[in-house]
Amino acid sequence: MHPAFSVIIFTTLSGAGFGLLACLGLCAIAGGLPDNQPFAFVSIVLALGAVTIGLLSSTFHLGHPERAWRAFSQWRSSWLSREGVVSMLTYFPALVFAGGWVLLGRSDGIFALSGLLMSVLAMLAVLCTAGIYNSLKPIPAWHNNWVLPNYLALSAMSGILLLTALAGIFGYATKTMYAASLALITLALICKLAYWRFIDTTPAASTPESATGLGALGTVRLFKAPHTSENYLMKEMGFRIARKHARKLRIISVLFGFVLPFLLLAAANMSGGVTGTGLSVAAVCLSLIGLLTERWLFFAEAKHVVTLYYGRRLDAKTH
């Protein structure tokens, strides 16, 4: 599939924003949020800002962005519509929670409950985003059981990394935050590697033989291309990336998105102070590079079954 920059920004930023909201809400329930209004203000603005920018960027992928509001009416059958509805609903408990923590310096009682609801809705929004891609049966790389855990794990990882860095800046980073960050980085990496292994080793259910019904006669090969030049389907659904380039980008994604942030946070946990804060911020910056690369690959490596009619195989190791 053609990697649209607007959708890459949307899934990366909104995932990080929802992840941070979820982490803040859970910390409120656990009584782990400090009564520090500057810290509260920056955390909420960063979380809601990332979510808002991500959601707005997604509309640029639409042919008619001005009609985006119509998607909200199809929540019974469309994961895209459910995502929009749940995302908007998340703002209500988030604003209540923000009002208590930022304006009143409180994150207990009713505000802690609103934080819990905010956490649940934030993760549901990420689940709905994953559901958009997971529901597309014609794209085997998306229609599998690894897409949902990957989206949730990457969102949670992004959120805890942001929270740990912010807590370090304001002097509230704890050993528990560092431990949670390291655990979620490890979990997210395991999910990502398992996803790549799945799409690399699972045979395609659809082949040129099954698509044409000529499998009994042997291997089906394209005799003549249906077009003299690429059409819209081939540009959008038949995007190709060379295997060697995909391998390099996977290495970049793993190195910047997981390995280096893990090492930096482990060092920050041991050093603490200004040095620890600097290492935590660096971990967030590097992870953003890795996650943007990972998300680009998520689209670039996905193949639509329509490409079978253009002589390509879904399970080919070279694109």
Domain annotation covers residue 33: yes
222, 113: one domain: no
Structure tokens at 38: 């500057």
198, 114: one domain: no
For tokens 């389907």, name the residue. 233
230, 95: one domain: no
Q: What is the pLDDT of residues 233-266, one digit of tens each?
A: 677 676 777 677 889 999 999 999 999 999 999 9
Say if residue 318's pLDDT is above 60: no
Spell out the residues 6+ positions from residue 133 whose beta carbon is closer than 8 angstroms to its own. Answer: 139, 142, 147
Domain annotation covers residue 78: yes
Number of domains in the chain: 2
- Among residues 116, 197, 113, 193, the alpha carbon closest in space to that of 150 is found at 193
Interatomic CA distance for residues 136 and 195, integer angstroms: 16
Q: What is the pLDDT of residues 69-128, one digit of tens each?
A: 677 777 788 898 899 999 999 999 999 999 999 999 899 999 999 999 999 999 999 999
CA 309 → CA 142, 233, 236, 241, distances in Å? 20, 11, 15, 19
What's the pLDDT band for 317 if we cut at 50, 70, 90? Answer: very low
Domain annotation covers residue 146: no
193, 315: one domain: yes
183, 295: one domain: yes
178, 319: one domain: yes
Amino acid at 239: F
Check residue 208 and give its pLDDT: 72
CA 246 → CA 193, 277, 293, 303, distances in Å? 14, 33, 10, 14
Q: What is the pLDDT of residues 256-302, one digit of tens each?
A: 999 999 999 999 999 888 999 999 999 999 999 999 999 999 998 88
188, 260: one domain: yes
Q: Tell me which residue range forms the domain holding 291.
A: 174-319
What is the greatest pairwise CA distance in the chain?
A: 75
- Among residues 274, 50, 48, 260, the alpha carbon closest in space to that of 169 is found at 274
Check residue 253 and give its pLDDT: 97
Domain annotation covers residue 204: yes
E strands within 138-240? none
Q: What is the pLDDT of residues 16-65, one digit of tens each?
A: 999 999 999 999 999 889 989 999 999 999 999 999 999 888 877 666 66
Interatomic CA distance for residues 193 and 153, integer angstroms: 12
Check residue 209 and give its pLDDT: 72
CA 260 → CA 113, 279, 281, distances in Å? 35, 10, 12
Check residue 69 and give its pLDDT: 67
Domain annotation covers residue 208: yes
25, 109: one domain: yes
198, 105: one domain: no
Interatomic CA distance for residues 122 and 15, integer angstroms: 9
Check residue 241 and give its pLDDT: 76
114, 203: one domain: no
Interatomic CA distance for residues 190 and 203, integer angstroms: 21
86, 189: one domain: no
Domain annotation covers residue 167: no
Check residue 319 and give its pLDDT: 43
Q: What is the pLDDT of residues 214-235, one digit of tens each?
A: 777 777 777 666 776 777 667 7
Q: What is the pLDDT of residues 184-208, one digit of tens each?
A: 999 999 999 999 999 998 877 777 7
Domain annotation covers residue 148: no
Radius of gyration for the chain, computed over Cα atoms and rounded to the nearest angstrom: 22
- Among residues 21, 13, 15, the alpha carbon closest in space to that of 57 is found at 13
Q: What is the pLDDT of residues 130-171, one digit of tens each?
A: 999 999 988 989 999 999 999 999 999 999 999 999 999 999
Q: Which of 115, 135, 155 is the last residue in one of the domains? A: 135
The burial of 201, by beta-carbon neighbours within 10 Å (0-12 exposed, 13-18 middle, 19 or more buried), is given as: exposed
119, 9: one domain: yes
Its pTM stands at 0.89
Q: Which of 83, 108, 135 is the last residue in one of the domains? A: 135
Domain annotation covers residue 166: no
